[in-house]
Amino acid sequence: MSRIVYLNGEYLPEADAHVSIFDRGFLFADAVYEVTSVLGGKLIAFDGHAVRLQRSVDELGMNYKVDMDELLDIHRQLVERNSLEEGMIYLQLTRGNPGDRDFVYPAQDTTPTLVLFTQTANLLNNPKINTGMKVITVEDQRWARRDIKTTQLLFPSMAKMMAKAAGVDDAWMFEDGAITEGSSNNAYIVKDGKIITRHLGNEILHGITRAAVLKFAKSAQMEVEERAFTVEEAKNADEAFITSASTFVMPVVEVDGQALGDGKPGSVAARLREIYLDESLKQAI
C-alpha cells in the first residue's frame, strides 16, 4: 500500500513527492531529522522530539522555526491518513534548494525542505526483548558534533553492516577506549546495581528516550552514574541495554563475543522498559 507523505505543506502519495537534485540535503547532507514513535495511534514523547529539532536547527543556523501546533497537526494527519497504529514518523528537514551547488549557505530566504513520512513497525512485540541483543564494538568514526541530529548516517550504516557481517545485532562505538553510544541508540551498562551511561556532550546524541528513562530510574530510587565507561567495563558488566525512540529499552546480552552475567536479558532493563512504556503511554498524545 502506498503511503501518504508530507512535503512542504502538501499531503501526497509517496510516488508523487519529489525533491530537487539541488536540495542541500542530497548534495551536502545539510539536513536534520527526528523520529517519533507511534503506539496505539498516539505519539510518544512528541514535545521532546520537537524541542530537539529546534535545537539541531539552531546549532546549524537553519532558517526554520518549529511551530509545535502545526508540527503536531502534521504528525496526527499522517497517523490518520495512513491508519498508523504502531510504527514511526520520520521528519527530515533540509536547508532547501538554492538553485546551484555551493558550499556557502544560501540566503536565509531559501525555503527549507520539510518531509515527513510514516513507517509501520512492530515496536511492542520486538522479539529481541526475549533474547536480548548481541553487539560488537567498533571505533567511532563519525564527525565531532553528534549532539546535532543530522542525516549524516553513513558511518552508523557502515557500523550496522559490520555488526551484520559479524553475525550480531548492532555495534557500540568507542573513542579513546570509552563507549560513546550505539549506532542508532544510547548505550548503558549495569554494574553492582548501578546504571552507567555516558554523560551528555558533543560526543553523543542527547536521546529523548535516555532523558525519560534516567528520570524514571532516579524516581524509582535506582542508582545512575553519567560517565564514560570503557569497552572492558562493558564486557565485564552484569547486564547492559540500549534506549531509543523505536526500541524503548532493549536488553544487550553480549559484547564482543563475551556474554554478560548469565547471558540472558537483565532485570534492570526489564524493569526500566516496563516503567518507560507505562509512563510514556500515559502521556502519549
Distance of closest approach, residue 248 Cβ to ligand PMP, in angstroms: 9
Distance of closest approach, residue 23 Cβ to ligand PMP, in angstroms: 22
If the CB atoms of residues 63 and 119 are measured against ligand PMP, the closer one turns out to be: 119
If the CB atoms of residues 137 and 186 are measured against ligand PMP, the closer one turns out to be: 186
**CA separation for the pair 134, 257 (Å, rounded):** 8
Is 164 labeled as catalytic in the residue annotation? no
- Region of 264 please: left (phi>0), alpha (psi -120 to 50) or beta: beta
Q: Is residue 278 within 8 Å of residue 242, measured between CB atoms? A: no
Catalytic residue among 42, 149, 164, 215: 149
Is residue 10 helix, strand or coil? strand
| Residues in region 195-224 near ligand PMP by CB under 6 A | 205, 207-210
Q: Quick check: 275 binds ligand PMP (CB under 6 A)? A: no
Q: Quick check: 150 binds ligand PMP (CB under 6 A)? A: no
Q: Can you point out the beta strands (E) in the chain?
A: 4-7, 10-13, 31-39, 42-43, 87-94, 113-120, 133-139, 170-175, 178-182, 186-191, 194-197, 224-226, 239-244, 248-255, 258-259
Binding mask 72-111 for ligand PMP (x = CB under 6 A): ----------------------------------------
If the CB atoms of residues 92 and 244 are measured against ligand PMP, the closer one turns out to be: 244
Is residue 184 helix, strand or coil? coil
Q: Quick check: 185 binds ligand PMP (CB under 6 A)? A: yes
**CA separation for the pair 202, 194 (Å, rounded):** 24
Q: Quick check: 171 binds ligand PMP (CB under 6 A)? A: no
User: Which active-site residues does the annotation give?
Assistant: 149
Residues forming contacts to ligand PMP in the complex (CB under 6 A) are 35, 181, 184-186, 205, 207-210, 243-245
